Structure 1
Amino acid sequence: MIDPRILMFAALFVALIGAAFLSAILIIVLKPLLARYALARPNARSSHKAPTPQGGGIAVVGSSLLIVGVFLLETDFAVSSIVPIAVAAVMLAIVGVADDIRPLPAKIRFVLQTIAVAAVVWFSDVRVLPEIIPQSVEQAILILGGVWFVNLVNFMDGLDWITVAEMVPITAFVAFVWLTDIVPLQNIIPFSAMLTAASLCGALLGFAPFNKPVARLFLGDVGSLPIGLLVGWMLLQLAGTGALVAALLLPLYYLMDATITLFRRLAKRERVWEAHRSHFYQRATDNGFSVMSVVTHVFVLNLALAALAAVTLLWTSSVVQIGALAAGLLLVGVVLRRFSHPRMTAPLEVSR
């Protein structure tokens, strides 16, 4: 009898490779159309210097969901748990397409994002907070946090390779951490979440060559919004197994960069819904860091955060949980501080 771990690994590995190839093929097919109808022109707040096609998220999200659909329909695993998530992701992708072509009013974007996130929270039916907190209150908190997470992923997608550097470690962790025997097989997140993570990881790897600095293609809102939703759902599933600290550690760089920036802008009474260049990663390029240096910092930091998340799964005592979270906060703080100060050496390249 074949070990179920071998079967699961084979399925996830095939999903990753299949999504990578499909994503790359779709990009090659769509790129001429995107160059004609979805060109991102640089402005004062942009990190890129030349008009560049956007909309690569169509291939990334589309290939991910297609691979997930094919695998789940061809296996004995239930599809009911993933269908509402996929529908919500497609809805946000449509919102992103519309916004990429012609910016939507902030209120309309917020309402549609709230509906999508609320659907994910409702159908997930996951408890994360202590039972003493009413479920309705917890769901309201999760919806608010989910909307913020979707938006911060969108905000942080402003530099070549940064979404790849952030999301590949997260999705790879969610998909394959169980292989390390850190988590007992019976306690891991649902297979549908692991399969989605593997597929999204592969699709981002397929997108990566086209987004390598200097990028020939951007994700666009059509990619960043549903990616934020899907990754937020995966992290919610992870937190639902009792691994709340791990679910916070994995995206901690994005959470801290975007949240600190938000509060700084609120303190200055700026219009926080408008585009800007106040994020730490944006300030880093202004301070002499090359794009490759910034994304390398982010990628290495995320590997360290993933290691800390693994530690919290291996040792579940409160001391270890608090210590790992404190270590993660310290590591991210060091990187943010480094980004905030001018670099001594000149950058190798300055384009987005």
Structure 2
Amino acid sequence: MPSASTLLLLTFFAVAGGVLAWKGGDYLVRSSERLGGHYGLPPVVQGAVIAAVGSSFPELSSTVIATVQYGAFELGVGAVIGSAVYNILVIPAVSALASEGRLASNRDLVYKEAQFYLLALAVVLLAFTLSVLYNPLPETAALDGTMTWLLAFVPLSLYGLYVFIQYHDSVDHRRTATRQQVAVGKQWAILAGSLVVILVGAELLVRAAVGFGEVFGTSTFLWGLTVVAAGTSIPDTFVSVAAARVGNSSVSLANVFGSNIFALLVALPAGVLAAGAVTVDLGTVVPMMTFLTFGSIAFFAILRTEMMLTTRESYVLLGLYGVFIAWLVAESLGVTAFLR
């Protein structure tokens, strides 16, 4: 049995890491939004790129730290997928409930951001599949393979296309936009300082996840899905809820899509590029990606009805997330064995 002091220390790491990720992400998003307003970017671009990159930096940091420092790329994968499930099911629901039970959408979000997000899911799964197909590990299970830096550029190149599209969408807006007057140097300094705070928080979260895995003899992937995913999703939650409360539903929803797109297309490849090459296991990745895809399709179907997320629909999304947590508990207890 693990000692009480060990569990207490790991719990402290998890809580402290989550708090630092939250505060660092909060300052990062605020400075990013002010800089976005200063440079005349439209609300959707601010939410999908500026706020999304800022609030998703904890996922990027966690993946790189877990891969380079602990050799646990699967922990980073778990953090990204677990955070993506949380983002797509919990954050919109909580944002809708916080804005009197109604969160409005629009066609730009449904037909551009949502569809690009589904494309991101497909490309990430393609990169994992190509790793096993062309770089298999014959000495281990048949579903293991090596993802190289070259394959990591497949999703990264798609994110480059995403930024290119967002840039051209913002050109016309910037010509007529009223730009905010801010202390540019101060905001860039705050942004840099918040990155340092997030890095410290990510290190504590990863250390807690690795420690819990060793203490309880369970997969670090499961701890990445829970401890790290929850800690790194806190900034996204506050950004979307705050935007929804002031009636800016476009930023709220765009932040959800943009955060998941950034995490899938940038955070995961960043871990591969930092290590040079990593081992991937489709037996673990595919079941989680399947649930993420199912949850995403359910969310898009609900969001498309009247372009509005209502109170009842919000509880449906929260119920789906409850199913996800129940499944993870069943996996950790050995009741189910979908994760290889």
- TM-score using structure 2 length: 0.46
Q: Relative contact order, CA 8 A, sep 6+: which one is greater?
A: 2
Higher helix share: 2
- TM-score using structure 1 length: 0.44
